[in-house]
Structure 1
Amino acid sequence: MPLLKNPYPKHQYKMRASVIVAACVAFLAAASSVENDTADLCANIRGCTRVYMPVCGSDGVTYGNDCLLKLAQCSETTLELVSEGECSEKRELSEACPNTCIEIYQPVCGTDGITYDNECVLRQESCRAHTVVGIAFEGECSEKRELTEACPDACIEIYQPVCGTDGNTYSNECVLRQETCRAHTVVGIAFEGECDVRANVHVRQADPECPQACLEIFQPVCGSDGVTYENECSMKRDACAKHIKLTVVRQGDCDGKWPLGL
């Protein structure tokens, strides 16, 4: 039986292979160029002006100016500009809140004891209400379930305390999930750190006390308000006292006089 003749000459295969290789090389070069451009941009931002022209980030933080937001984007790649001006504590629904959710019923029980159609709906409604609601467990809140795979079997023995909305301090978030899951109770995280017996802890709102003292150690950080703080603890203390939200946009002086990593 005669062999079938290949309808495509060898030189056409070689040409096609060359085109595919060239396309792959071009794609990789373009991706590398984008990464290099981003790295170069972050490397060139050594300091930002102290001119206060506030912008609101998608994390709900007010940045002193656009430069400070771009500086924060170097470490938080998902951060985006929401609007010019300060973030309002009671602003209208913005890009930070989900606009639409898929109409699928995958119920989750919120830490407020309410059943939501799915996780997206929970995030959307809590965002619109300006409340902090987490997922207690998957499924309807009314379900009386036995200990299942949803409850953590074991937790890492590391002390990163969190204060539960029940007023109890848990060694870490995993321990909170484990104990509340086994007890069939709905407890969320009020705030990170130990519960203060004098703090009024509610299911919907936490009122942690501000740090009263910080170690006298010089590890300057640049806050999202464009102010250089002696260390991160000092920044958090001032932010708490002023009832504002601040984040560290870079390690070191805001003017770029102190090198990164101090």
Structure 2
Amino acid sequence: MYLLNLFEGHGASFNIDCNVCSCFAGNLICSTRQCLTEHSSEDERRKFTGLPCNCVDQFVPVCGQNGRTYPSACIARCAGLHDNQFEFGSCISKDPCNPNPCNKNQRCIPKKQVCLTSFEKFECSQHECVPRQLNCDQTRDPVCDTDNVEYTNLCTLYQKGKSLAYRGPCQPFCRSLEPVCGHNGETYGSVCSAYADRVAVDYQGHCQAVGALSDHGFHSECAFVSCPQLSATACKPLRAPGACCPLCAGMLRILYDKDKLDNFARVTNKKPITVLDILEKIRLHVSVPQCDVFGYLSIESEIVILIIPVDQNPKPLQIEACNKEAEKIESLINSDSPTLASHVPLSALIASQVQVSYSISSASAQVVPALHSLFISLLFPLSSALRYCM
């Protein structure tokens, strides 16, 4: 093996082993995937689980102060949280309104969020305090109650003495409130509760496992999960990081600069920037109405974005259209496009990798590029180089 010293400029992206890295303002920012390489020892191979920090396959969830549920305390620590920065149990199971943090003339409303900014600098509160009003204004911000009745806003819902099921218009397919597990490892009360968070559903029922993050990893507890049948039989599916079940989608795994997000939060409204903020901005750049945007913060601290066909039985053309949208977003991020930078938080996205679930008819067309990339990587094993940012 030989080593090279390579100096990379601002905006350069490259791979080190299985991790994607980028130089940003002189700093090297890399994903935190657990890698096996050809140089790994037998002992390293034996201990390899594929999970961050080689944590064991345990699903004993903890809730971080960033609002993210981690599958175990080990994985939370690996993500940089100290023991006093998480507590056992999923975030959604916590009641942020007990004890009541609001004033007497205010009502405490749970409002779950996963924060990307430093929670030490910008509190990642999981509630909002709204005034107790006798007369509600007619500002339209629709919400749905547990009886599947829609109200103009939260004020009118609580004025009627109802309980909030989820934010957004009522959906007919959510009349029965049955728990589902989101790709983020969080259990939601219904499909629509997950969708309101812009989280796609992994499987029915409570979350019970963390999916493999590597082809070389462990025998996951996902083996005991009952996955929904894929409606699009003509799709070669993918699995989102940490999820159990396959799906047809275009997927982006994105590196972001937390310091830059902190700066944005500091000079704007001094509120945390959340995963939902990023997803709603990305959604503005998806131009195909047959595709929608979902996502979450992965346990490897990347933003995962899924661009998924909205139809239950998507046609190959619809799957292909969502793939193209994912590839377009990847190109905008990696080229530092002004189109994205015009939406303030998005300029903190610094590098992206795309993976698509090709329709079977187009899968064969991808073989040659894949082999070409493999040939190039064998000729130039850049993971053997020491990389520095200028």
Tell me, yes or no, whether TM beats 0.5. no
Structure number with the higher strand fraction is: 2
Greater relative contact order structure (CA < 8 Å, 6+ sep): 2
Q: Which has the larger radius of gyration?
A: 1
TM range (shorter): 0.3 to 0.5
Structure 2 length-normalised TM: 0.27
Structure 1 length-normalised TM: 0.36
